[in-house]
Chain A
Amino acid sequence: MKNTIAIILLGAWAIGPNLAGAGDSLPISYRDRLEELRKVRHRKNAVPPTNAADPVPTISARPDYIDPMLAQSWKEINATVAEPATDGEWLRRSSIDLLGRIPTLAENKEFLSSRSSAKRSQWIDRCLQSPEFGTNLANIWMKLLMPAGVLDQDVDRDGLHAWLEREFNRGRPWNEMVTELLTAEGRSNENPATNFLLATQENGNSIRTTSMVTKLFLGVQTQCTECHDHPWNAWKQDQFHGMNAFFLGTRERRATKPQGGGLMTDYWMLEDIPLDQVAMKGVFFERRNGLSVFTEPTYLDGRSVQTLAGIKKNADDVRDYLRPEDSADAPAQGVRLRAELAKAITADSNPYFARAMVNRLWYHFFGHSFTKNVDDFDNGLDEPTMPELLDRLAGDFRTSKYNVKELARRITTTKAYGLSSKRKTKKNEDSLGFFSYQLVRPLSPEQLYDSLLTLTRLQDTSKESNTGKERQGFIDEMLRSFGTDAIPTAAPTYDGTITQSLMLMNSPLVGRLTSCVPGSFLHEVATDEKMNDKEKVDAIYLSALSRKPTSAESKIIAAMIEQTPEDKKPEVFVDVLWSVINSAEFLLNH
């Protein structure tokens, strides 16, 4: 609560000159602020300019503007800036963020002993070249494109995951990836990109698809406007239904094959019927006052599909009709609705497209985005904390031809990314959204499992028979035991439950991962005759936490070793490893 107001007020400060003149900054009341925002929205005419020459400020190609801009804002809000993270903290964090796992013992040793001044940027480059980078981003995007629980079960999830992995790894421009997801046609088992729409469409109904598309690719939330104009944000009911109408030509068909006496899904077929072959060329929706209104496929900014396809020169002022026949537009021959939608969404002139991805990647690397929720621009309540920086990054992203790796490199090589998560004062919380310290965030189930395997070097036992079965089982179990299965969009909270803690302490899987059997990391350490006990414990800590034990920890462990007969000594190392992986320090990215 306190934070929320702080963000809003600080947001007000940041864009103060636009609102009330440079002299008026803090304090203004919450209500005044809301009023002002509403006025600003109306003045701005609620819709982003699209035909304007260039709505995004001109971009400097120099990459080193992020830190100076952040430093300037810290000065302005009088933020207490955290110390730089230690090399170990930085390595662990960047490894989790970029590769989806903690660093290996060898990586830790090499990085920590290197004296090169360029070692951080070299490490980032190495991560970006690793195939694990694509896997990690695919893990994240799968959860966004196909949230658990609500989607068709028999689409080809693995196919879409592999496609995302490959495209992220080969550096496919983001606009091309999104275009492919939006325009995909064909069989689910042959064209993996079809699976996004196949999963989000509900029996021919595209309400969910529409809200997911605007949220994921544009960072705007339109779902409330399905039923009513939003009281204070920019988005209106007809905009939602205009967007929804772009899926009128989308058809899904299930092909079955006999199995076990019944029929099961063989594949799904996804099509986009050209507009002239679609019977109803728009959708009806009901306004709150009960009036039934008709709208054609119309992009958020008011351009109808005919305008987008270049058939009509100017955007209509009117986009809703009472009856379909009120629209004089001729049906465009061969126009495919989803192709037009994809063009409008990914257009260079669309400021939302680049911003949405920048904001999301920034959120990934800082645990907080420029907005309160990562996918909620122009909600009329909270403005981006640093609009200039966001726009500049967005401009650079566009100039780089939507190069995701380049954007990730730009963000992770900043000093700000390398700040400690130790906050110097309580007051620091007020600067949430200005990134003067790093936020601690929980490891996702995928990151946790992959980190456990990296640490223990015990491969998935079920690999030969059924690839990834144990991994999936672990992830499902973790997800089930989370307090919520919603994907976080705002500042992180701890959602782990008692069930999850019990699982990490006592499950057979963790028992296996912490066992000292030949082939395991622990066995290698325990039987290494070149290391003394202290060095062995150091290796466990370094591997799991990228640091050495503190003197207090060493003392406790030394006592454990001392009280244990020589032949039982491996048990001590098992116990140390168990304690380490159950600690908040291991389970959190910090």
Chain B
Amino acid sequence: MDRRHFLRHMIGAGMTFPMLDWVNGFHAARAATGQTRGQSMILIWLSGGPSTIDIWDLKPGTKNGGEFQPIQTTGSGQICEHLPRLAKQMKHLSIIRSYTSRDGSHERGTYINHTAFAPVTSVIHPALGAVVAKYNTPGNLEVPGHISLGGPGVSPGFLGASFSPFRVEAGSNPIPNIKSTVGIERLERRNTLLAKMQDTFVKQGRGELPGEHNTILNRAQELMSSKLLDSFKIDKISAARREKFGDHTFGRNCLLASQLVEIGVPFIEVGLGGWDNHQDIFKALSDSPRALLPQLDQGFGSLVEDLAERGLLESTTICCMGDFGRTPKINQDTGRDHWPTGWSVVLGGGKIKGGEVVGAMSDDGAEIADRPVDVSNLFATLYESVGITSATELRSPNGRPLKLVGTFGTGEPVREILS
């Protein structure tokens, strides 16, 4: 159904809709400036915990070094030989080789590295994606500001359901249940009755919940008729561009992430799982049918290249990390275990300089040797890069002020990589 048609009916049925104003305002702004995007962020989440000593910070020739050799990149640091595409893009990306996140459980590591806080029972902290969506969603965006493409989709916590991760998967049916099961005319009469019922119930003074439900319902109805839905369909993209990203879910999701940045979605998380390699790690990374490094290289590498080519990299911060790093020591099953003490995070785009290396691990890869960067430093850097003041405080439902950068450290951004 045509959205304006639908809106007219909602208004006819007594709904008060601030939406129409900004819909018109949005199109005017787009026409006048051609600029509708703010600062976006893409988080590439390697769930299970990536072995960064085999990816971003190789220690060849040492007993912990493993099987891979480093290669030169267009930046100042070397990376794994199985990442040739990324090596060409490293001028856009910097490596923090001395990141510490302290907690070695998957559940807690995922929480900490998404929220900057350790989990507690009294409050659920909002995930990075919810915060970026809260501050950076253009007022006129018809799609949710926090989108998860195969990522863990961490809770918006006390920021509430409007900032929940919206789960989408690149493919033929990117948004489940987006199509009405009846024709326009019937949908219209259904919505007319529904709008009347909502209006009546919301106004009965039964607290906040009815209105909150109505807001979410309206957002869903709006999405059903949004023109932006076309951007979710990657099968309409040229074959050449699609092939570059690779014929696997992660690659397709990276391509979709690039599309979504273009329409102004402020936060997209792209997930790639399988990194919990307690055994046969080198096979899992490079030498198996679904080896992880080639997928990462193709998806992530093409994403950076694609964003740079289309002039979107200056407005898109990218960060690649996971639950934690993995032990430098190789265990008896040729695997590596959990190692939150010191590991590498890669970031670039936005206000982040490319080609830099921050910090270093000891020669055996076990301890931080130089320039420790903690969770608060990383979050401060990411927020600054997308134009959110890192000293910002939120207020929890208990009334406690909570810093966006959490409580793990000073909250100082890593200034040497911010431009």
Contact = CB atoms under 8 A, between A and B. Distances in A.
Contacts of A580: 197
Interface string B170-213: 00000111111110001001111110111011101111111011
A136 to B, nearest CB: 21
Nearest to B168: A499
B223 interface: yes
B395 interface: yes
A439 B207 CA distance: 8
B399 A506 contact: no
B167 A483 contact: no
Nearest to B175: A502
B46 to A, nearest CB: 20
Contact of A440 (B160, B161, B194, B209): B209
Most chain-A Cβ atoms within 10 A of its Cβ — which of B179, B189, B398?
Answer: B189
A219 to B, nearest CB: 13
A424 B397 CA distance: 24
Contacts of B186: 571, 575
Interface size range of chain B in the complex: 35 or more
Interface in B103-134: 107, 120-122, 124
Nearest to A575: B190
Interface stretch (B214-222, B233-241, B327-335, B358-366): B214-222
Interface string A45-78: 0000000000000000000000000000000000
Given A422-B206, A499-B167, A511-B181, A483 B395 contact: no
B216 A5 contact: no
A17 interface: no
Given A422-B205, A422-B206, A499-B167, A483 B156 contact: yes
A336 interface: no
B88 to A, nearest CB: 37
A585 B206 CA distance: 11
A498 B177 contact: no
Contacts of A500: 216
Contacts of A215: 121
Interface string A542-568: 000000001011001100100000000
A282 interface: no
A582 B156 contact: no
A498 B209 contact: no
Contacts of B223: 498, 502
A506 B180 contact: yes
A499 B166 contact: yes
Interface in A486-540: 486, 490, 492-503, 505-508, 511
Chain A CB within 10 A, most for which of B181, B196, B197: B197
B406 interface: no
A189 interface: no
B224 interface: yes
Interface string A385-428: 00000000000000000000000000000000000011110000
Contacts of A423: 205-207
Contact of B209 (A424, A501, A584): A584
A480 interface: yes
A493 B213 contact: no
A111 B195 CA distance: 30
Nearest to A580: B197
A1 B217 contact: no
A481 B213 CA distance: 14
Contact of A486 (B155, B175, B179, B196): B155
Contacts of A511: 181
B178 A502 contact: yes
A503 B176 contact: yes
Contact of B220 (A224, A490, A502): A502
A588 interface: yes
B122 A373 contact: yes
B164 interface: yes
Given A495-B161, A578-B190, A583 B399 contact: no
B150 interface: no
B157 interface: yes
A150 interface: yes
A256 interface: no
Interface in B323-348: none
Contacts of B207: 421, 423, 429, 439-440
B224 A4 contact: no
A441 interface: yes
7 contacts: A493-B160, A494-B212, A498-B216, A575-B189, A575-B193, A584-B214, A588-B213
Interface of B: 13, 107, 120-122, 124, 144, 155-157, 160-161, 163-164, 166-167, 175-182, 186, 189-194, 196-198, 200-202, 204-210, 212-214, 216-217, 219-221, 223-224, 395, 397-399
Report, nearest first, the 4 A-B pairs whose CB atoms are least far apart: A501-B220, A483-B161, A494-B212, A483-B164
Given A498-B220, A506-B178, 17 more contacts: A224-B121, A440-B207, A484-B124, A493-B161, A496-B216, A499-B176, A503-B177, A505-B224, A506-B177, A507-B176, A552-B196, A552-B200, A575-B186, A575-B190, A579-B197, A583-B201, A584-B198
